[in-house]
């Protein structure tokens, strides 16, 4: 099994996350969240930087990424694996939702954008009603969104000014058959420090299948960086037993990951 230790440029926040899970709502928990968000903010900013050439201000993207980071910190469970493996898709998803909701092909006034969002939400809610088989009338949308008919019409027109372009769409230089270049290929370089995320995700199932005692031993060895001798003393067994347990556990996780 690949090493379970965090990357060299990742902050050591394992203990803080353990405290956060046990902390009740209140000042102590808020301070822990703030501490963890500050520690991992460089990661959020790096992810935001991958999207900087898509027509949005970098500072705005960094704020969106920070919001995704806060969600990741508050929802993360240390028992599920390394934090960055959970945080990267969470932050990236928040940025993509931002582009989905605020990416416009034609620049329109903020007031019209707000009308568009209200109309979209009201229309979706009407379409999701049980038994609905037809497109909602403008009057229905106006009632649901608490708008006038003119405002609904303006919002509907704004829908045509917006387009969410798939990251899988071919670029202009990649339209020749066999080129295989998509918009996602233009979103910056791969972060070398996070090249093990896929491996960690694959290892999760194997880790969950281990007995709690073996998971605890792996946590002490690879996350707390304790020696086998210290673990043996803490658990109350011999170092040889710890060595065998670690080897056996890693083999089980590795086999589960490649199955």
User: Vertex 43, ends 216 and 205: CA angle to 5°?
Assistant: 35
Worst-scoring range by mean pLDDT, 51-55, 93-97, 112-116?
Answer: 51-55
Give all domains of the chain, ordered by start, each with its CATH number.
110-186 (no CATH), 210-259 (1.10.10.60)
Q: How confident is the model at residue 199, as a pLDDT?
A: 59
Q: Where are the alpha helices (DSSP H) in 103-238?
A: 110-127, 138-145, 149-159, 197-209, 212-218, 228-235
Long-range contacts of 195-202 (CB under 8 A, 24+ apart): 196/2, 196/7, 197/82, 197/84, 197/85, 197/88, 199/2, 199/257, 200/2, 200/4, 200/81, 200/82, 200/85, 201/81, 201/85, 202/257, 202/258
On the question of pLDDT at 64 being above 70, the answer is: yes
Q: Which H/E stretch holds residue 249?
A: helix 239-258
Worst-scoring range by mean pLDDT, 33-42, 48-57, 156-165?
Answer: 156-165
CA torsion through residues 20, 18, 203, 41, sign: positive
Q: Which of 28, 45, 14, 11 is nearest to 191 (CA)?
A: 45
Q: How confident is the model at residue 185, as a pLDDT?
A: 56
Q: Six-digit token pair at 26?
A: 């209140």
Percent of the chain at pLDDT above 90? 15
pLDDT tier, 182 (very low <50, low <70, confident <90, very high otherwise): low
Q: How confident is the model at residue 136, as a pLDDT?
A: 86
On the question of pLDDT at 69 being above 90, the answer is: yes
Q: How confident is the model at residue 7, as a pLDDT?
A: 45
Measured distance CA(113)–CA(119) in Å, rounded:
10
| Contact in structure between 48 and 95 (CB atoms under 8 Å) | yes
Q: How confident is the model at residue 170, as a pLDDT?
A: 58
**pLDDT tens digits along 204-217:** 767 778 888 888 88
Q: How confident is the model at residue 6, as a pLDDT?
A: 43
pLDDT tier, 254 (very low <50, low <70, confident <90, very high otherwise): confident
Q: How confident is the model at residue 3, as a pLDDT?
A: 37
Measured distance CA(60)–CA(199) in Å, rounded:
32
End-to-end CA distance of the chain: 13
Query: Average model confidence (pLDDT) for the chain?
Result: 77
pLDDT tier, 187 (very low <50, low <70, confident <90, very high otherwise): low
Which of the residue ranges 87-91, 116-120, 183-187, 205-209 has the most confident prediction, judged by mean pLDDT?
87-91
pLDDT tier, 112 (very low <50, low <70, confident <90, very high otherwise): confident
CA torsion through residues 140, 145, 150, 155, sign: negative
On the question of pLDDT at 189 being above 60, the answer is: no
On the question of pLDDT at 195 being above 50, the answer is: no
More confident residue, 169 or 73: 73
Query: The whole model's pTM is what?
Result: 0.41
Give the three-class secondary structure for 101: helix
pLDDT tier, 97 (very low <50, low <70, confident <90, very high otherwise): confident
């Amino acid at each position: 099994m690949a090493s379970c230790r965090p990357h060299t440029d990742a902050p050591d926040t394992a203990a803080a996350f353990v405290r956060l899970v046990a902390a009740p709502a209140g000042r102590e928990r808020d301070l822990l969240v703030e501490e963890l968000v500050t520690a991992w903010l460089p990661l959020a900013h790096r992810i935001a930087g991958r999207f900087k050439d898509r027509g949005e201000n970098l500072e705005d993207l960094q704020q969106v990424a920070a919001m995704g980071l806060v969600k990741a910190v508050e929802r993360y469970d240390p028992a599920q694996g390394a934090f960055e493996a959970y945080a990267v898709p969470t932050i990236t998803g928040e940025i993509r939702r931002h582009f989905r909701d605020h990416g416009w092909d034609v620049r329109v006034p903020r007031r019209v954008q707000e009308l568009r969002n209200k109309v979209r939400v009201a229309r979706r809610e009407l379409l999701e009603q049980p038994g609905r088989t037809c497109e909602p009338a403008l009057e229905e949308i106006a009632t649901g969104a608490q708008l006038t008919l003119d405002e609904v019409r303006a919002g509907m027109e704004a829908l045509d000014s917006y387009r969410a372009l798939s990251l899988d769409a071919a670029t202009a230089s990649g339209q020749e058959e066999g080129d295989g270049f998509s918009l996602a290929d233009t979103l910056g370089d791969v972060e070398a420090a996070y090249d093990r995320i896929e491996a960690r995700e694959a290892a999760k199932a194997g880790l969950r299948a281990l007995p709690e005692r073996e998971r605890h031993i792996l946590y002490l060895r690879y996350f707390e960086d304790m020696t086998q001798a210290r673990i043996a003393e803490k658990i109350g067994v011999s170092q040889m037993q710890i060595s065998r347990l670690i080897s056996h556990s890693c083999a089980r996780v590795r086999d589960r990951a490649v199955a």
